[in-house]
A and B are shown apart, each in its own frame.
Chain A
Amino acid sequence: AQSVTQLGSHVSVSEGALVLLRCNYSSSVPPYLFWYVQYPNQGLQLLLKYTTGATLVKGINGFEAEFKKSETSFHLTKPSAHMSDAAEYFCAVAPSDSGGYQKVTFGIGTKLQVIP
């Protein structure tokens, strides 16, 4: 069984400030972890993913996330927010042993507002 908890359904930051979106997961096997972004009236776009190897993962648009097994966390950060970062962000988890069977579980999403 697996689950994802995103802390904060709405987050507001000032333009230029640090963006921190929190994600905690639960998984009975080693997880694969993802962050997706959804802009208004669009589908989801993969920002970054952790599968194996380096625990600090860099993605598109200056975002990065760190897998912390001891804290069961995969928080998303960006040093300086841009207005264009305003969107909804989804954390997702999948078991690493699913053998091709799709078992990705998405969090409820966090809407990021960037204030000028």
Chain B
Amino acid sequence: DSGVTQTPKHLITATGQRVTLRCSPRSGDLSVYWYQQSLDQGLQFLIQYYNGEERAKGNILERFSAQQFPDLHSELNLSSLELGDSALYFCASSVDLDPYEQYFGPGTRLTVT
């Protein structure tokens, strides 16, 4: 158990809908990262937050957004969902800005039908 929690575990929704994925980092970790894992694209970095502020962006679509709240939990919002958004979404956390030891949550499996 990495100490990072993600909810829900599974999510099935229809195209065009909007969903919110939630992540709670390990106690004391200030940085949160979101990743998308799909069969064809592999593991792609989406976005990083540090202590409530956005720090880095990767391959995140404009339809996706994220935020980190004062209690350090984070939410990833996916809107106007398409079939291709079906994937595993991982959250990871680390203690500080120089993260190179990230702890991954168990993931949320999103299926868009």
Taking Cβ atoms with an 8 Å cutoff, the residues of A that contact B are: 32, 34, 36, 41-46, 49, 51, 90, 94, 99-109
Contact = CB atoms under 8 A, between A and B. Distances in A.
A101 to B, nearest CB: 4
B97 interface: yes
B56 A43 contact: no
SS class, residues of chain A in contact with chain B: loop
B85 to A, nearest CB: 19
Contacts, number: 63
Given A42-B106, A43-B92, A43-B107, A100 B42 contact: no
Contact of A51 (B33, B48, B97, B100): B100
Interface residues of B, number: 27
B55 A100 contact: yes
Interface string B79-100: 0000000000010100011111
A43 B42 contact: no
Contacts of A49: 100-101
Given A102-B33, A102-B55, A43 B100 contact: no
A43 B43 contact: no
